[in-house]
Amino acid sequence: MVVWTDFERTTIRDIFSKIDYAVVGQAAFSRCLIVYPWTQRYFGGFGNLYNAAAITSNPKVASHGKVIMEALEKAVKDMDNIKATYAELSALHSEKLQVDPDNFMLLGDCLTIVVASQLGKAFTAEVHAAFQKFLAVVVSSLRKQYY
Amino acid sequence: MSLSAKDKETVKAFWAKVSGRAGDIGSDAVARMLTVYPQTKTYFSHWKDLSPGSAPVRKHGGIVVASITDAVNKIDDLAGSLLTLSELHAFTLRVDPANFKILAQNILVVLATMFPVDFTPEVHMALDKFLAALARALSEKYR
């Protein structure tokens, strides 16, 4: 059972209320595909991912980035039940999509970098720690249905 | 995942841009590492104060970032130039090498907060590769 401090709850809600899901989603997901190119293996149907410019301007990448952020919002809306919230998504990633779960934190790290660049100084060590904890819980929940 | 000529160029160019704030970068990265990944505090139990902005954190940040700057200048021979530091980390400090990755991620986050426009995905990748190569060189003497 994850225990969230008031500071952590407020911080996570605050971050997600400040960011534009389309912008941050596209930036984080495209960054992941560029910085960790082996993650492209799961997106064969996305068209041109040949180089950074192609990835950055790819409309499927942009729309999938937004999908990811909207899925993360579900966890923000119910922080005490993240494991239950992601049970189906976990099974999907494991059984249908067959994504190596080590990739989840790669995307998490890129999202952290994008949020950090948006918030600048406001992304203090304490805020960063709360965000990292949130991502760790999300990733752990997404790993739950892997056998 | 060795550094291509383009990677080295990218790292050198970016580092030249940011080295004016080297002290802040190092200090913030170490502070963040201790706060966000508290298990790393176990290596600094001899410090009086592990809080962000404290004297030991700032001093250590300065040392770390100075070594990185040195490594950027000797980017063509990381293993050679980091030999002594590797021995220090291997035999005296005995830092688990998994922590190098943690500090690297925190350095990248700090760069993103301070240089959001310049820290493009291409720069991010080159720096990530460079810090990984640095970590490898630092782990050389471990076993």
ipTM of the complex: 0.85
With left for phi above 0 and alpha for psi between -120 and 50, is residue A125 left, alpha or beta?
alpha
Under the banding of pLDDT at 50, 70 and 90, the label for residue A142 is: very high
pLDDT tens-digit readout, A39-74: 999 999 999 999 999 999 999 999 999 999 999 999
Cβ atoms of B137 and B129 within 8 Å: the answer is no
pLDDT at A1 over 90: no
Average pLDDT on A140-147 reads 91
pLDDT tens-digit readout, B64-85: 999 999 999 999 999 999 999 9
Spatial CB neighbours of A27, under 8 Å, sequence gap ≥ 6: A65, A114
What pLDDT was estimated at residue A147? 83
Per CB-CB distance under 8 Å, the chain A contacts of B52 are 124-125
Using the beta-carbon criterion (under 8 Å), do B121 and A30 form an inter-chain contact? yes
Residue A72: which of A37, A108, A100 has the closest Cα?
A108
CA distance A84 to chain B (A): 25
Using the beta-carbon criterion (under 8 Å), do B112 and A117 form an inter-chain contact? yes
Q: Which chain A residue shows the shortest CA-CA distance from B116?
A: A117
Per CB-CB distance under 8 Å, the chain B contacts of A113 are 108-109, 112, 119, 124
Using the beta-carbon criterion (under 8 Å), do A119 and B113 form an inter-chain contact? yes
Cβ atoms of B61 and B31 within 8 Å: the answer is yes
Per CB-CB distance under 8 Å, the chain B contacts of A24 are none
Considering only CB atoms, A121 lies closest to which of B52, B113, B125, namely B113
Three state DSSP letters for chain A: CCCCCHHHHHHHHHHHHHCCHHHHHHHHHHHHHHHCHHHHHHCHHHCCCCCHHHHHCCHHHHHHHHHHHHHHHHHHHCHHHHHHHCHHHHHHHHHHCCCCCHHHHHHHHHHHHHHHHHHHHHCCHHHHHHHHHHHHHHHHHHHCCCC
Per CB-CB distance under 8 Å, the chain A contacts of B113 are 116-117, 119-121, 123
pTM, two decimals, is 0.91
Residue with tokens 């002290």: B23
> Within chain B, which residues score under 70 in pLDDT?
none
Q: Which chain A residue shows the shortest CA-CA distance from B52?
A: A125
Show the tokens assigned to B141: 């003497």
Quick one: what percent of chain B has pLDDT higher than 70?
A: 100
Per CB-CB distance under 8 Å, the chain B contacts of A119 are 113
